[in-house]
Structure 1
């Protein structure tokens, strides 16, 4: 279980892009949760029931804790068990239907279309590394895939002739994602020119589409470093994470007229309520435009 906890904390940083202080808060909240339930070790976290989670949350409310504090503690617990079920370590998520009450909607951070363009233009296309990086960024923005899906994507999951990618999402679920002409052009050269150069003689049969410069699988930590570096290079006043391009993908689709169900399918969300957060974001943008532009706003 210690290994699973460490994987979860790595997931918080690399996949979700949470700041170190937030990660430490999650660690602290999970420790307090374990202590409150009288669990002696980390392994016992895998045996927690829905009723135990509810009793714990009820106890926090009875102590008079602020709603925001309770919601944050529940967020840590829900994130942990969502990770455990998505990775196949648990069959049932004991925190899935537990709610902490309303505390407002936290909107995801996104890049506008001009910022995305600046980011995409940063890699040096004269080098193999730069061309690989540009291709990864183009594919990520073109598909809205999770970074784990991108880095685990096999060469066989790409069909350039039909212009689609097969993404392998949470719970080993597959989904078909169309890709645009620009991403296809970069992928074509990457597959035929750049990737063969990256293949190492000791590992010539590696299936992953995107490789490290040493010819091995690229880690999520390394990709996170790459995108953050290009963000600084582009002068973007934001701490970039791979997930921010996924958020931008969804928001820009909705901004340009895509329907919510289609975006849900492209993102691989099992519940449309997860996708609806992006409508709040687009609505906020429209409200900002209205208030700046309407003479009687």
Structure 2
């Protein structure tokens, strides 16, 4: 508006915006808490939500990406998951991510489904309900597991990053796995 001459002075000049890191803090699941959660089941639990959240814990993938993953994103022979991040798609040259998959993750995904003729069918890896329904289920699951933290789907991403950093991964590797365009985003992840 200032550049177009609509107003004489920028109304935000001289205003400092600070962030209270305690307010915006995301809880992190320790490795022990991850195992506690994984070993907990409850009546009425949606197995797809369970599988998808565990997958996010071990890959650092965002909810907006895991909900759209297809079997065609999985390169079974090379054990790699390739996809374009929904958050940065079309905005960044680094929106493509390649994540190595171990045998446990491949087992969690399962094989590509086939039609009646035995031909592979490209479908979703996880058949998830809405984000709200998934969040409610996650809240019930963490409560049943006795974890007294506010755990969200994004906490899986942060937990993944913190836990692999604590196990000796370097920040550049973690940044690449998370699909960050630079190290600064990765450095801002809260510590455990």
Shorter-chain TM-score: which interval? 0.7 to 0.9
- Helix, strand or coil at the partner of 1:247: helix
CA–CA distance in structure 2, aligned partners of residues 243 and 142 of structure 1: 13
CA 58–174 in structure 1, closer or farther in 2 if over 3 Å, else same: same
> TM-score scaled to structure 2, two decimals?
0.76
User: Any runs of at least 4 consecutive aligned residues in structure 1 with deviations exceeding 3 A, and if so which?
Assistant: 54-57, 103-108, 126-129
CA–CA distance in structure 1, aligned partners of residues 41 and 79 of structure 2: 24
Structure-to-structure mapping, 1:282-297, within 5 angstroms: none
Quote how far apart the aligned CAs of 1:128 are: 9.4
Quote how far apart the aligned CAs of 1:127 are: 8.8
Instruction: Name the residue aligned to 1:176.
Output: 98
CA 150–110 in structure 1, closer or farther in 2 if over 3 Å, else same: same
- Helix, strand or coil at the partner of 1:57: coil
For residues 177-222 of structure 1, the C-alpha deviation after alignment (integer angstroms, 9 at most, x for no partner) is: 1122212112126x559xx9xxxxxxxx88322114xxxxx32222
Match among 26, 40, 53 for residue 122 of structure 1: 40
For residues 14-62 of structure 1, the C-alpha deviation after alignment (integer angstroms, 9 at most, x for no partner) is: xxxxxxxxxxxxxxxxxxxxxxx8xxxxxxxxxx99xx9x934325x3x
Instruction: Name the residue aligned to 1:265.
Output: 176
CA 223–253 in structure 1, closer or farther in 2 if over 3 Å, else same: same
- Helix, strand or coil at the partner of 1:258: coil
CA–CA distance in structure 2, aligned partners of residues 269 and 57 of structure 1: 29
- Helix, strand or coil at the partner of 1:152: coil
CA–CA distance in structure 2, aligned partners of residues 136 and 276 of structure 1: 26
1:112 and 2:34 aligned:
no
For residues 243-266 of structure 1, the C-alpha deviation after alignment (integer angstroms, 9 at most, x for no partner) is: 001000000111011011110010
- Helix, strand or coil at the partner of 1:162: coil
Contact kept in structure 1, 2:113 and 2:122, CA below 8 Å: no
Structure-to-structure mapping, 1:189-268, within 5 angstroms: 192=113, 207-212=123-128, 218-268=129-179
Match among 164, 182, 187 for residue 109 of structure 2: 187
**Where does structure 2 lack aligned partners over 5 or more consecutive residues?**
90-94, 116-120
The structure carrying a bigger helix percent of its residues is 1
**Where does structure 1 lack aligned partners over 5 or more consecutive residues?**
1-36, 38-47, 62-66, 73-102, 197-204, 213-217, 286-297
Quote how far apart the aligned CAs of 1:226 are: 2.1
| RMSD of Structure 2 on Structure 1 (CA) | 3.3
CA–CA distance in structure 2, aligned partners of residues 238 and 161 of structure 1: 38
Instruction: Name the residue aligned to 2:58.
Output: 142
Aligned residues: 176
